[in-house]
A and B are shown apart, each in its own frame.
Chain A
Amino acid sequence: DIQMTQSPSTLSASVGDRVTITCRASQSISTYLAWYQQKPGKAPKLLIYKASSLESGVPSRFSGSGSGTEFTLTISSLQPDDFATYYCQQYNSYSPTFGPGTKVDIK
């Protein structure tokens, strides 16, 4: 199975900050990488797919990059609605695996 790691596990930031989250895969997944945002009590929401493609309706302050085994999610200017937990996920096969999550909270 492909293992996913994320760093940091928690990130404290202020509104307006630029935020970067890193995700690593245990083997190459090309660009089969998605990012989700999850708020307490809610289902995950797709933000980015194919490593860098923005899902329809997602604000342009979110961007993704990377290929192979290393990926990043960047929020260019953190907004109050962005405080949440973010998960990366590889979908190179029918059995997707998720990173452990990065919680972005208020500094």
Chain B
Amino acid sequence: EVQLLESGGGLVQPGGSLRLSCAASGFTFTTYAMTWVRQAPRKGLEWVSAISGVGDFTYYADSVKGRFTISRDNSKNTLYLQMNSLRAEDTAVYYCAKYGSSWLIASWGQGTLVTVSS
């Protein structure tokens, strides 16, 4: 069974930084591209970033480009999202997710809440 467990969320001041982690299990981690999707309070879903299975390709939404960095450690089966220069509008639940065939998001973690506020 695929399991994705996010951690690292919390309260941070505007301009601050935070690193999210996602521990993966139940599948061959290196085989699958991974992604982060966020959901602001009482809002819809927004794709944030993606990374290929071996980590050689990364992709970002325009709203986070230059501020967020996605990475993975395949030896630890862990996905990361380094978030810098955080803004109030980055406040959201951040979900780690696994791609299936093509770019279908097949499995989701339970999410971790990031709150950017002074």
Mark contacts of B7-49 with chain A using CB atoms, 8 A cut-off: 1 yes-contact digit, 0 otherwise: 0000000000000000000000000010000000000111100
Chain B residues bordering chain A, tally (CB within 8 A): 20
Whether B102 and A43, one on each chain, are in contact in the complex, defined by CB atoms closer than 8 angstroms, is no
- Collect the chain B residues with CB atoms within 8 Å of residue A21's CB: none
A89 in the interface, Cβ–Cβ < 8 Å?
Answer: yes
CA distance A100 to B45 in the complex (A): 8
With A94-B59, A98-B45 as known contacts, state yes or no: A46 contacts B50, CB within 8 Å.
no
> A interface vs B, CB < 8 Å?
32, 34, 42-46, 49-50, 87, 89, 91-101
- Collect the chain A residues with CB atoms within 8 Å of residue B100's CB: 49
Whether A95 and B46, one on each chain, are in contact in the complex, defined by CB atoms closer than 8 angstroms, is no
B12 → A minimal CB distance (Å): 22
CA distance A45 to B2 in the complex (A): 13
CA distance A28 to B87 in the complex (A): 34
CA distance A34 to B47 in the complex (A): 14
CA distance A91 to B110 in the complex (A): 21
- Collect the chain B residues with CB atoms within 8 Å of residue A99's CB: 44
